[in-house]
Amino acid sequence: MLKRISMVAVAVGVLALTANTTFAAPTLCYYSFNSPWGAGSLTSPITSPKFKVTNSNAVVTIKGWQDTPFAGTPNVYYDLMRVETFIDTQVGRTNIRGIYPKNGTWYSYTFSGANTTKDYYIKMSPNSSTGMDGAGNAYDGY
């Protein structure tokens, strides 16, 4: 009887573990920017390395942090750009405003409409006059 109860307990434990398992989407690229980017004349966009999207949902999720060592509030446009022969195409855009500390809660945004046969990159453009620091990853999926 004790052997049967132990086997049931082990089976229930295995089911509980597998039911709560989550899988992270693969990382596509890392991006970063450092202050005084965004201040004065340092407003040129920064781009991530290029990557390919392979997930069947055709989505790219960015997760990262942004902060400033100065007065003001970080405010950055993040664009999902598709590489084209002559002029790259903006697939999606989000504006992330606020402080998301490196050692705190990070922002997260999911772009949709990515084509699995094309190359992409993330373009960051400052939308604030304060210098900003930040970094993050783009993920292949949610």
Q: Mind listing the pLDDT tens digit for each residue in 77-110?
A: 999 999 999 999 999 999 999 999 999 999 999 9
Whether the Cβ atoms of residue 56 and residue 141 lie closer than 8 Å to each other: no
- Domain residue extents for the chain: 24-140
Does residue 61 or residue 10 have the better pLDDT? 61
Instruction: Look at residue 57 in the predicted model and tell me its pLDDT.
Output: 96
Q: Across the chain, what does the average pLDDT equal? A: 87
Instruction: Look at residue 24 in the predicted model and tell me its pLDDT.
Output: 74
Averaged over 117-142, what is the pLDDT? 96
Question: Which alpha helices (H) appear in the chain, and where do they start and end?
Answer: 2-19
Instruction: Look at residue 22 in the predicted model and tell me its pLDDT.
Output: 53
Per-residue tokens: 7: 């086997």
Whether the Cβ atoms of residue 95 and residue 123 lie closer than 8 Å to each other: no
Q: Are strands 59-67 and 107-112 parallel, antiparallel or unpaired?
A: antiparallel
Instruction: Look at residue 23 in the predicted model and tell me its pLDDT.
Output: 60
**53, pLDDT greater than 70:** yes
Whether the Cβ atoms of residue 76 and residue 109 lie closer than 8 Å to each other: no
Q: Tell me which fold the domain 24-140 belongs to.
A: Jelly Rolls (2.60.120)
Averaged over 109-136, what is the pLDDT? 96
Residues of the chain by 3-state class (helix, strand, coil), percent to 5: 15, 40, 45
Region for 45 from its dihedrals, namely left if φ exceeds 0, alpha if ψ lies in -120 to 50, beta otherwise: beta
What secondary structure letter does DSSP report for 62? E
CA atoms within 13 A on the CB side of 70: 16
**60, pLDDT greater than 70:** yes
Instruction: Look at residue 25 in the predicted model and tell me its pLDDT.
Output: 87
Residue (of 34, 44, 25) closest to 138 by Cα position: 25
**124, pLDDT greater than 70:** yes
Q: Mind listing the pLDDT tens digit for each residue in 3-33?
A: 444 444 434 343 343 344 456 789 999 999 9
